[in-house]
Amino acid sequence: MRGRLKERRQSAPDQQAADPDPRAMAALLEESQDIHHDAMTATGDSLAEMVESGLDARARGEIDPDESREVAAKRTRLMTGAAFGGGLLAAAGIGAALQGLFASDAFAASATDVQILQTASSIEVLAVSTYKTALTLPFIGGASANPVVKTFATTTMQQHSQHLSAFNAAITTLGGTAQTNPDPALAKVVAAAVPGLTGPGPVVALALELEQGAAETYVADVAALSDANAKKVTASIMGVEAQHASVLLAVQALLNANAPQLITLAPGNVANLPAAAGSVGFPEAFFPTDQARPATEGAQS
Amino acid sequence: MRRSTKTPEVMAISEHELSAMTSDLDQLHHDVGMPAMHRAIDQWNEKTRSSRRGFLIGAGAVAGGAILAACSSGSSSSTTTTKAGSTSSSSSSGTLTGDLAVAGLAASLENLAVAAYGDVLTAAGANKLGTVPPAVATFVTTVKGQHAQHAQAWNSAIVSAGHKAVTEPDPVLTPVITADFAKVTNVTGAAQLALMLENVASQTYQSAVSAVKATSSVQVAASIQPVEMQHAAILYYVLGQYPVPNAFNPLTLARPVSDFQS
């Protein structure tokens, strides 16, 4: 993050007076760094710790995958319902229900986490392939493409590929099998949409659906996962998908307003943006989970 | 806030269409997002009412991250009285430990964000930031409102547990932000400062997701972290920078609970 702050200063030397006080910030950052790791280190540490727990899990023997699948589905339903729309569950005493579930001998934490992570991987597989397909279209990855849109599609595909690697590493360190197939339910949605990708608008709409679904799934997952390190990895990714969705919402709005020329990172472009563009990228104060995918949708059978 | 008087003609249509879209989204937020969040908070509150200790399950048992370090070192600090800022009249009294201490930190960060965006609006109104683009004005107003909702969510749990609401801003970060803001002379500078605040908030929440113990606490933190990152994405765009710079959100700017307990 220090690097990014430096880069920002370098890219806007005329704004030096407005920059945060470097000494004060350095002190705070130094203090923070005594306590924190950066993202990749945190992710790496998480995975390393998962190796330990994965080995422990394997030493204890395999857990019935069908039983784990049932538990995973039940857990995510409870987690999603508890926060969003869980009136009946709340009335039934969801706290006690969860405690009972987690305390049960049948609760196969690692295997359940593996299935949740496999679903996450399956979503990432689909995202990578969808952006790859989109980039073959002339108006997304070709000569007629908006440069920012093309860069976004390329970079986002790479980021999803990194997410896929992280999720699959988490899976294997927990003793599971990496997921390399796309989410089967979402894959059908994408397959049905592909013939209609005749312009930037439908592509952005499809990508937005995938990004929003991914972000909401991971938001639900962090409450459903039991392994602390799997939770950390997922938490470091969920907001990134939300940022993808935010960018797509803004791009979609500008396309719908017939103002594609405003999709640019050129300095000063903000002065030309309409007022509504300032809020279209974050429509809700609390990120929802009603579009979260079921926990076992992409798990291996 | 002074707005640009020169608007491209195409934006006459764009503005209308975008406004309609924003209105729809706002309606969706109130129809879907807010009721859902209220249910989560209600559940949270019910839990803390039924057992004042219910929200504190996590004390001393958390693992990893800044909040963890602060909470762990606070096993003896589980009796630390929250005191933050110089306005003791608005200070939370009593002891916040475990998940509640994290909630206190979160509320104090949200208070700081609300205050900072308020200062931006005041400065803009006094013509101290130069020309303020309409999109920036909308951004600041909307984001300020969302941060206020976040603060309200955290304080709802704190008050429900029998403590006073946390109304003061993060006492460690506030002097730094105040000093920095005094040097801000334009929208770019304000956006840079706001970006730092949003990144601090999102990374603190990300740390909190691993640090808190109650499922409802995880859910609230997880529902806010992506929103702060969305604020950051738009700020990057405003600054002409790539809006999604990291594949994995870092934790280097996360604030420790000791901020709030100092």
pLDDT digits (tens, 9 = 90+) for B149-176: 999 999 999 999 999 999 999 999 999 9
Phi and psi for B132 in degrees, rounded to 5?
-105, 115
Q: Which of A59-73, A217-231, B98-112, B116-130 has the lowest mean pLDDT?
A: A59-73
* Cβ–Cβ below 8 Å for B185 and A12: no
CA distance A170 to A44: 10
Question: Which neighbouring-strand residues pair with B132?
Answer: B3
Question: Which neighbouring-strand residues pair with A182?
Answer: none
Question: Which neighbouring-strand residues pair with B95?
Answer: B81
What does the block give as tokens for B224? 């806010």
- String of b and e for A118-131 (b: at least 16 CB within 10 Å)? bbbbbbbbbbbebb
- Is the pLDDT assigned to residue B25 strictly greater than 70? no
Task: Identify the closest residue of chain B to A39 by CA–CA distance.
Answer: B250
pLDDT at residue B95 in the model: 83
* Cβ–Cβ below 8 Å for B183 and A258: no
Q: Which residues contact A10 (CB under 8 A, 6 or more apart)?
A: none
For B239, other C-beta atoms within 10 Å of its C-beta total: 21
* Cβ–Cβ below 8 Å for B222 and A223: yes
How distant is the Cα of B71 from the closest Cα of chain A, in angstroms? 12
- Between the alpha carbon of residue A119 and those of residues A62, A103, A123, A300, the distances in Å are 20, 24, 6, 8
Which amino acid appears at position B155 of this protein?
N
Residue % of chain B over a pLDDT of 70:
64
Tokens 């990708």 label which residue?
Answer: A197
CA distance B230 to B40: 22
The residues of chain A scoring below 70 in pLDDT are: 1-109
Give the torsion through C-alpha atoms of B135, A6, A26, B98, to 10 deg. 60
CA distance A213 to A75: 18
CA distance B135 to A275: 4
B36 compared with B229, residue with greater pLDDT = B229
What does the block give as tokens for A254? 């500008």
CA distance A196 to A134: 12
Residue ranges covered by each domain of chain A: 39-278
Give the torsion through C-alpha atoms of A7, A12, A17, A20, to 10 deg. -30
Which amino acid appears at position A184 of this protein?
P
- Is the pLDDT assigned to residue B13 strictly greater than 80? no
pLDDT at residue A41 in the model: 44
B16 compared with A107, residue with greater pLDDT = B16
pLDDT at residue A290 in the model: 95
* Cβ–Cβ below 8 Å for B222 and A235: yes
Across the interface, of A1, A258, A267, the residue whose CB is closest to B252 is A1
- Is the pLDDT assigned to residue B56 strictly greater than 70? no
pLDDT at residue B39 in the model: 54
CA distance B247 to A279: 23
A287 to chain B: which residues are within 8 Å by CB? Answer: 222-227
pTM higher than 0.95 for the full model? Answer: no
> Does the domain formed by A39-278 have CATH 1.20.1260.10?
yes
Half-sphere exposure of B70 (CA within 13 A, CB side): 31
* Structural domains in chain B plus CATH codes: 41-261 (1.20.1260.10)
- Between the alpha carbon of residue A295 and those of residues A112, A115, A122, the distances in Å are 9, 7, 11
Tokens 């000791």 label which residue?
Answer: B258
Residue to test with chain A: of B244, B258, B262, most A Cβ within 10 A:
B244
Residue % of chain B over a pLDDT of 90:
62
Give the pLDDT band (50/70/90) at residue B61.
very low
Residue to test with chain B: of A29, A36, A204, most B Cβ within 10 A:
A36
* Cβ–Cβ below 8 Å for B40 and A38: no
Contact A76, A294 (CB under 8 A): yes
A275 to chain B: which residues are within 8 Å by CB? Answer: 3, 15, 18-19, 134-135, 137-138
